Amino acid sequence: MKGKYVILASTLLISVATFAQKDEIKAAEKALKKGEAQEAATILKGAESLISNAADSEKAQFFFVKGNTFLDLANKNIDADKNLSVAAEAYLDLIAAEKASGKSKYSSEATTSIISIKNKLINNAIADSKADKNLESAQKLYDAYLLDKKDTLNLYYAASTYVNAKDYDKALELYDDLKTMNYSGKGTNYLAENKLTNQEDFFTTAQERDRMVKMGTHEKPRTEVIPSKRGEIYKNMALILVEKGKTEEAKKAVSDARIANPDDTSLILTEANLYLETKDFEMYKKLISQALEKKPNDADLVFNLGVVSYNAKNLVEAEKYYKRAIEIRPDYVNAYLNLAIMKLDGDKVIFEEMNKLGTSEKDNKRYIVLKKQREVVFKDALPYLEKANELDPKNAEVKNTLISVYGALEMTEKKKALKEKM
């Protein structure tokens, strides 16, 4: 008989606790409706310890109120980052509870709130990145991915931002996740300019975009092909592994990626860049040549061959590749700039010799010869710099180099005019 009393007492305690818990949820809900989110959060904290034993329907209600409470606090900029995270977790717990119960009362609203939180996290991450708060930005992008794992682009951006934050271990972890899912990021964007805002709007399909253009709300439709990001992913993985002294592991990772994706030219470039990092120029050229066989008119590939030839001190080949890149893509600013820099390299030796000369008649004669040689160097570089500046007038490196060349050639008026544009 005594045992029955114990069971009855336990049941009574659970029943009392359940009623108390329901009362606290209602009280929190009431406080939230009155705009007193902080009070609601305090009330919910008191019910937190009892929620694990509650029925799934009560858990769902608790998490719904909790999510709404902390989202409200975040919207009021009260410890926004932390409260957004708490709200998101509560909504996910709510959806899990309703899935377990087989009933869906709050899940639809919770999903809408999750999308709102995801967008806030992304916008806040962008703001953090602009303020050079890369670690905070990366964490928010990763949190956004955790809220919606179908949107793998946020995982990719989180990994890249961790690289910017120099948290290479976390970056490598996320890149490894992308590698496991064989993420490419390849796709197509459909865009058109909004006549009202003069800003480009993004559309998920060409049909949707074309319909809006036909209706007259948008104009200037264009399609943007997004290339595969595998090359960049494996390149960054390889660079991190090299930084950690794991060069062979880096080479294997890229080699495995090429076997899994034989038609992805970007991976050949990634492997080539890895050999460039380890100063194996011959292997680099071999791999670039393989890539050129697949894409003989790829200006970037040809330009990269110019870079490696320059690094290997083969200036004749470097000039040939840079000029070929310009033939393929006449507006290739970096090819013009690199040609100019390569020409200007000849000035270093001449300038050093001029500085060592004395004031004797012999030295004065040599000075005149060297001065003419310098003029030839600057004149050779000048057309490439002027073309680069014409193509990219905002490029500070091009502009500053061109000003120096104008000065050396005593082209005072051109130098003055260019300086006024800065």
In DSSP notation, 345-391 reads HHHHHHHHHHHH--SSHHHHHHHHHHHHHHHHHHHHHHHHHHHHHHH
d(CA 21, CA 58): 9
| 202 and 101 housed in the same domain | no
pLDDT over threshold 90, residue 243: no
Instruction: Tell me, yes or no, if the pTM score tops 0.75.
Output: no
Identity (one letter) of the amino acid at 278? Answer: T
Strand, helix or coil for residue 114:
helix
Domain assignment present for 142: no
Q: Convert the pLDDT of each residue in 42-87 to its tens digit.
A: 888 876 766 766 777 778 888 888 888 889 898 898 988 888 888 9
| 310 and 392 housed in the same domain | no
| 290 and 384 housed in the same domain | no
pLDDT band at 5 (very low <50, low <70, confident <90, very high): very low
The beta strands (E) that lie in 240-358 are given as none
Q: Which domain holds residue 109?
A: 21-131
pLDDT score at 8 = 40
Query: Residue 235 is part of a domain; what is its CATH number?
Result: 1.25.40.10
Domain assignment present for 8: no
Query: Residue 74 is part of a domain; what is its CATH number?
Result: 1.25.40
| 292 and 394 housed in the same domain | no
Q: Convert the pLDDT of each residue in 250-306 to its tens digit.
A: 888 888 888 877 777 778 877 887 887 788 888 888 888 888 888 889 898 888 888
pLDDT band at 145 (very low <50, low <70, confident <90, very high): very high
| 27 and 126 housed in the same domain | yes
Overall domain count for the chain? 4
pLDDT score at 18 = 46
| 303 and 247 housed in the same domain | yes
Full DSSP string of 268-293: HHHHHHHHHHTT-HHHHHHHHHHHHH
Domain assignment present for 170: no
Domain assignment present for 175: no
Q: What angle do CA 334, 407, 329 make, to 5 degrees?
A: 15
| 318 and 336 housed in the same domain | no
pLDDT score at 14 = 38
pLDDT score at 49 = 66
d(CA 90, CA 354): 73
More confidently predicted of 131 and 284: 131
pLDDT band at 177 (very low <50, low <70, confident <90, very high): very high
Rounded percentage of the chain residues whose pLDDT exceeds 90: 22
Alpha helices in 34-79 (DSSP H): 37-47, 56-75
pLDDT over threshold 70, residue 10: no
Is 102 buried (19+), middle (13-18) or exposed (0-12) by CB count in 10 A? Answer: exposed
| 27 and 98 housed in the same domain | yes
The DSSP bridge partners found for residue 188 are 225
The length of the chain is: 422
| 243 and 319 housed in the same domain | yes
| 284 and 348 housed in the same domain | no
Residues whose CB falls within 8 Å of the CB of residue 200, separated by 6 or more in sequence, listed in order: 191, 192, 193, 194
Instruction: Tell me which of 174, 201, 226 is where a domain ends.
Output: 226
Domain assignment present for 298: yes
| 321 and 335 housed in the same domain | no
Q: How far apart are the first and last CA of the chain?
A: 96
pLDDT over threshold 90, residue 174: yes
| 31 and 124 housed in the same domain | yes
The DSSP bridge partners found for residue 190 are 203, 223
Average pLDDT of the segment spanning 303-312: 82
More confidently predicted of 328 and 315: 328
Instruction: Tell me which of 290, 325, 360 is where a domain ends.
Output: 325
| Residue 80: CB atoms within 10 Å | 14
Domain assignment present for 168: no
pLDDT over threshold 90, residue 214: yes
Domain assignment present for 137: no
Domain assignment present for 95: yes
d(CA 58, CA 98): 10
Instruction: Tell me which of 111, 131, 151 is where a domain ends.
Output: 131
